[in-house]
């Protein structure tokens, strides 16, 4: 299955990289056909 890349625009920032990436990882977990790119 080919993944679809989508951008995720964050409106808040954290210093903790794991916390920053959490939202994108959760979306990818529930929608495995998506690959997210997160930017602030």
The stretch 7-17 carries a mean pLDDT of 84
> What's the mean per-residue pLDDT of the chain?
88
Top-confidence residue, 24 or 33? 33
Report the range of poorest mean pLDDT among 4-8, 31-35, 36-40: 36-40
Domain ranges of the chain: 4-39
CB 10 within 8 A of CB 22: no
The two structure tokens encoding residue 32: 């495995």
């Amino acid at each position: 299955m080919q993944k679809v890349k989508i951008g995720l625009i964050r409106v808040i920032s954290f210093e903790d990289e794991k916390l920053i990436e959490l939202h994108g990882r959760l979306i990818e977990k529930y929608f495995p056909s998506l690959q997210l790119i997160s930017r602030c």
